[in-house]
Amino acid sequence: MTSRTCQDWPQLMELAPELQFKHYTLREVSLPVDAHVGTEGIDLGEVSICADLDSHVFNPEHTDPQIADALRASHWFDLREWAARGSTN
């Protein structure tokens, strides 16, 4: 476990044990081009995202709402959607 690991990791492990959620600034994350449209006016060094970057799954509870909306419009998955679909994604 690292300092970036989401503090809600026990609950997240119950929802998606195959994923590891960490906190990042937007500057550290390579957002898809279609999600960048929804990030206008946001400080990329300050706003955070809680996500498993390898699987493109974000935790909306710990992600800025504007960023969460932008990610939903891309190929990224909201954790709730991922969990509802099961681990066969």
The predicted pLDDT at position 89 comes to 47
Q: What is the mean pLDDT of the chain?
A: 85
What secondary structure does DSSP assign to 25-49, as a single string? EGGGS---HHHHGGGTT--TTT-EE
Note the pLDDT tens digit of each residue in 2-35: 568 999 999 999 999 999 999 998 888 888 777 7
The predicted pLDDT at position 87 comes to 54
Task: List the structure tokens of 18.
Answer: 């195959």
**Whole-structure pTM value:** 0.83
Query: What does residue 24 show for φ and ψ, rounded to 5 degrees?
Result: -140, 160
Q: Are 21 and 51 in contact (CB under 8 A)?
A: yes
Q: Domain extents for the chain?
A: 24-62+71-89
For residue 39, pLDDT beyond 60: yes
